[in-house]
């Protein structure tokens, strides 16, 4: 493992777009910028049998313990062997006391997930941090007609119903969307019991940063010309990749089916901007889709209407100094988390 050259760091997002395991928005410099100052970026190039793998680690110095490294939705590798090689390098050279990874390694079942984790010394599965380990990803290299035909009948019917009712769609690339979109997001967060996890300021600073980078886009919808906004989405976009990062809607009769139309118009916008991949971001694992107790269960009917779930390994932790990790998790981290919750933040 090595530090990137100056040229590699300047062109870091291009490296991520060409990574062996595919693109990850969470590995872009914009995501790291939003995590400052608590987390500092530490870009590393790993040497693997798949070739060089760029990984953007976020590093946090923990008093009395050392450096905590975190690779959000990375490394961008698909094979367990390449993850094993990266873990070997981290074990030898990182100097961290623990490293949290969210690799894009494909898994087929809970048993497959456990087998991969057990095959790498010092690795253990932890709760997923970012929502994209299990998701629905659409291939946009097909016509709109082919895409529509691939959706479930309920999804197509909901889209047509919202159109027939006279829905108004607006595309916005500036801060004028913040106030109406926050009302929609807040309504969704109240239903999902998510309010208080992050502050409004946190979300607005994230939207502002991605808009300023030219990589953010809002899609807002009104049920008809006489009503206010009732559904919306905030998209990340980078090169040929688009992700549905945040969404919100009101539960009113007039908005029935409107969020399906928002997604369809977001997909059409992505295609018009030469995207080849659209990520709906966030689902339960495919083997837990029928579990009503999963905290993402409410998304299952909606998102599987557009496509099938893909599963990746998700968050794992590599304990390099087990004693330090033990005392950190049972004392220091709890204290840090308590302080951060009081100001509307979380550890990660």
10-residue block means of pLDDT along the chain (348 residues)? 97 97 97 95 97 97 94 98 98 96 97 97 95 97 96 97 96 98 93 75 96 98 96 97 97 93 98 98 96 91 96 96 89 69 69
Q: Assess whether 286 and 141 both reside in one domain.
A: yes
- Determine, yes or no, domain membership for 348: no
- Share of residues in the chain with pLDDT > 70 (%): 96
Q: Assess whether 294 and 151 both reside in one domain.
A: yes
State the pTM of this model: 0.94
Q: What does the DSSP 8-state code read for residue 5?
A: P
Q: Assess whether 38 and 118 both reside in one domain.
A: yes
Q: Assess whether 316 and 306 both reside in one domain.
A: no
- Containing domain of residue 210, as a range? 134-310
The confidence score (pLDDT) of residue 118 equals 97
Q: Assess whether 14 and 102 both reside in one domain.
A: yes
What CA–CA distance (Å, rounded) separates 156 from 42?
A: 44
98's enclosing H/E stretch is: strand 98-101
Q: Is-contact 256 114, C-beta < 8 A?
A: no
- Determine, yes or no, domain membership for 1: no
**How many domains, the chain?**
2
Model confidence pLDDT, tens digit, residues 57-71: 999 999 889 999 999
Assign residue 116 the CATH number of its domain: 3.40.630.30
Q: Assess whether 217 and 335 both reside in one domain.
A: no
The confidence score (pLDDT) of residue 344 equals 58
- Determine, yes or no, domain membership for 47: yes
The confidence score (pLDDT) of residue 193 equals 74
Model confidence pLDDT, tens digit, residues 243-257: 999 999 999 999 989
The confidence score (pLDDT) of residue 190 equals 86
Q: Assess whether 155 and 282 both reside in one domain.
A: yes
Q: Assess whether 214 and 295 both reside in one domain.
A: yes
Q: Assess whether 156 and 214 both reside in one domain.
A: yes
- Determine, yes or no, domain membership for 113: yes
- Determine, yes or no, domain membership for 240: yes
Q: Assess whether 304 and 326 both reside in one domain.
A: no
- Determine, yes or no, domain membership for 196: yes
What CA–CA distance (Å, rounded) separates 183 from 344?
A: 18
- Determine, yes or no, domain membership for 347: no
What CA–CA distance (Å, rounded) separates 318 from 69?
A: 10
The pair of structure tokens assigned to 285 is: 């694992």
Q: Assess whether 225 and 98 both reside in one domain.
A: no
Q: Assess whether 316 and 274 both reside in one domain.
A: no
């Amino acid at each position: 493992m090595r530090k990137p050259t100056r040229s590699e760091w300047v062109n870091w997002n291009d490296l991520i777009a060409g990574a062996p395991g595919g693109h990850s928005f969470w590995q872009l410099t914009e995501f790291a910028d939003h995590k400052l100052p608590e987390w500092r970026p530490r870009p590393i190039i790993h040497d693997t049998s798949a070739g060089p793998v760029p990984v953007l680690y976020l590093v946090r110095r923990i008093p009395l313990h050392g450096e905590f490294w975190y690779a959000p939705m990375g490394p961008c590798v698909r094979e367990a062997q390449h993850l094993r090689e990266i873990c070997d390098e981290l074990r030898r050279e990182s100097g961290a006391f623990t490293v949290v990874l969210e690799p894009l390694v494909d898994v087929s079942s809970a048993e497959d997930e456990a087998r991969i984790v057990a095959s790498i010394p010092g690795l253990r599965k932890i709760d997923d941090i970012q929502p994209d380990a299990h998701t629905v990803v659409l291939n946009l290299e097909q016509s709109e007609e082919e895409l529509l035909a691939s959706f479930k009948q309920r999804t197509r019917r909901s889209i047509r119903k919202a159109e027939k009712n006279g829905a108004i769609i607006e595309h916005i690339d500036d801060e004028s969307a913040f106030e109406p979109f926050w009302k929609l997001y807040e309504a969704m967060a109240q239903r999902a019991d998510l309010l208080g996890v992050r502050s409004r300021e946190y979300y607005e600073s994230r939207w502002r940063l991605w808009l300023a980078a030219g990589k953010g886009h809002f899609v807002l919808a009104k049920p008809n010309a006489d009503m206010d906004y009732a559904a919306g989405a905030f998209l990340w976009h980078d090169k040929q990749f688009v992700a549905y990062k945040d969404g919100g809607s009101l539960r009113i009769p007039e908005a029935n089916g409107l969020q399906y139309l928002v997604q369809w118009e977001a997909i059409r916008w992505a295609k018009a901007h030469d995207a080849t991949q659209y990520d709906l971001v966030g689902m339960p694992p495919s083997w837990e889709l029928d579990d009503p107790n999963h905290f993402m269960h409410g998304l299952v009917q909606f998102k599987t209407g557009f496509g099938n779930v893909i599963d990746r390994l998700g968050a794992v932790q590599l304990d390099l100094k087990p004693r330090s990790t033990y005392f950190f998790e049972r004392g220091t981290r709890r204290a840090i988390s308590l302080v951060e919750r009081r100001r509307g933040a979380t550890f990660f």
